[in-house]
Amino acid sequence: MERKEWPLWEVFIRSRNGLDHKHCGSVHAPDAGIALQSARDVYTRRQEGVSIWVVRADQIHASDPDAKPEMFDPADDKIYRHPTFYKLPDEVDHM
């Protein structure tokens, strides 16, 4: 008998107080409906979330790990991109 693996789905959960869905793991499932159910059963057993996204793992395009130097290193010495050089009015306590 031919054995086919179910596709992998990446699971993103929005927690009760969180604003964004955050990646929390993955499940194997034959389709999106079952993937959502499985994600609910595997990742929200302890009140971790109020909303779930699932995305087929093969639909995610990832940056190339070998391209890390040219992708990310140039940001290292551009401290002026952080908004830390502005004088804040006294009325603004925390920013």
List interacting residues with another protein (CB under 8 A): 6, 27-31, 33-34, 37-38, 41-42, 45
CB of 28 or CB of 68, closer to another protein: 28
Angstrom CA distances, 61 to 11, 55, 92, stand at 15, 11, 41
30 token code pair: 């034959």
C-alpha 22/C-alpha 43 separation (Å) is 12
CB of 1 to another protein, least distance (A): 9
Which residue, 24, 25, 29, is CA-closest to 5?
A: 29
Between 22 and 36, CB nearer to another protein: 36
Nearer of residues 38 and 49 to another protein, judged by Cβ = 38
Dist CA 87 CA 84 (whole Å): 8
Q: How far is the CB of 49 from another protein (least distance, A)?
A: 15
Q: How far is the CB of 27 from another protein (least distance, A)?
A: 5
